[in-house]
Amino acid sequence: MPTGSLRGTLAAVAGLAGLLGLAGLGVLPGPGAAPARAGEIVFTPVDDGDILTEVSGAETLNEGSTLRRTYLVVNEAQAPVRLERVGIDTRHDADRDRFVLHPEGTLTAVQPVRAVRLVFALFDVFDRPIRTLTLTLVRDLAAGAVVDLATLPGWPASAPEARDLLSVVSHAATVRPAAGPVWSGNTARVHRDMARFGLLARD
């Protein structure tokens, strides 16, 4: 999907919560991820474009809608990985006549890692939770290695899920570094900040 302007991105994010104090929530008003300061959790809004999904031999899903899908990409200062433009998009698998939720964006190893678990919280056009997806990548990554998440498998989806998906919160929940203990993200803090956006996580 095409990427919109910065103004469109911020407008989409503001629409999630109404009156929103971006600075107080640690939100970067830009399309890319940036390093967080020590102890900080940063939400980076990304405008993923329209919510249309082409369907082979049928009318495009959400034809006539001007809504735009938004990713909120979470990065923690101490995380061994960095996420950029990470979220979940929709497509129609014509061969199997089903919809698919597929990951996109990139993951960069800040240090050597052996396994990563990403969590995606999906919300509908009314800011209600749809479901939570988990992606576990077991792969040796050297510091600086980049993984294109679009190359990884997706999840089957129902037509209502593909139709209704509007917002996605993405974060690294757990990472096994090449050396040292397993790193766990501050999930409770992420959920609290999501609630301040008007998005209530489903455990």
Task: Please say if the pLDDT value at position 8 is more than 70.
Answer: no
The mean pLDDT of 152-172, rounded to a whole number, is: 95
Using a pLDDT cut of 90, give the percent of the chain over it: 68
78-126 pLDDT, tens digit per residue, is 999 999 999 999 999 877 678 999 999 999 999 999 999 999 999 999 9
Q: Which residues pair with 50 in a beta bridge?
A: 68
Q: Distance between CA atoms of 66 and 29, rounded to whole angstroms?
A: 22
Q: Distance between CA atoms of 3 and 47, rounded to whole angstroms?
A: 6
User: Can you say how many angstroms the Cα of residue 202 is from the centroid of all Cα atoms in its chain?
Assistant: 15
- Looking at residue 29, its pLDDT comes to 52
- Looking at residue 172, its pLDDT comes to 98
In which band, very low, low, confident or very high, does the pLDDT at 150 lie, cut at 50, 70 and 90? very high
DSSP letters along 163-193, please?
HH--EEEEEEEEEEESSSSPEE--HHHHHHH
Amino acid identity of residue 30, one-letter, is G
Question: What does the domain layout of the chain look like in residue ranges?
Answer: 6-196
In which band, very low, low, confident or very high, does the pLDDT at 20 lie, cut at 50, 70 and 90? very low
Higher per-residue confidence, 29 vs 167: 167
- Looking at residue 200, its pLDDT comes to 84
- Looking at residue 144, its pLDDT comes to 98
Average pLDDT over the chain reads 85
Nearest to 9, CA basis, from 62, 68, 91: 68
21-54 pLDDT, tens digit per residue, is 343 445 555 544 455 455 689 999 999 999 999 8
Task: Say which residues have a Cβ less than 8 Å from residue 136's Cβ, sequence separation at least 6.
Answer: 115, 116, 117, 118
Task: Please say if the pLDDT value at position 185 is more than 70.
Answer: yes
- Looking at residue 117, its pLDDT comes to 99
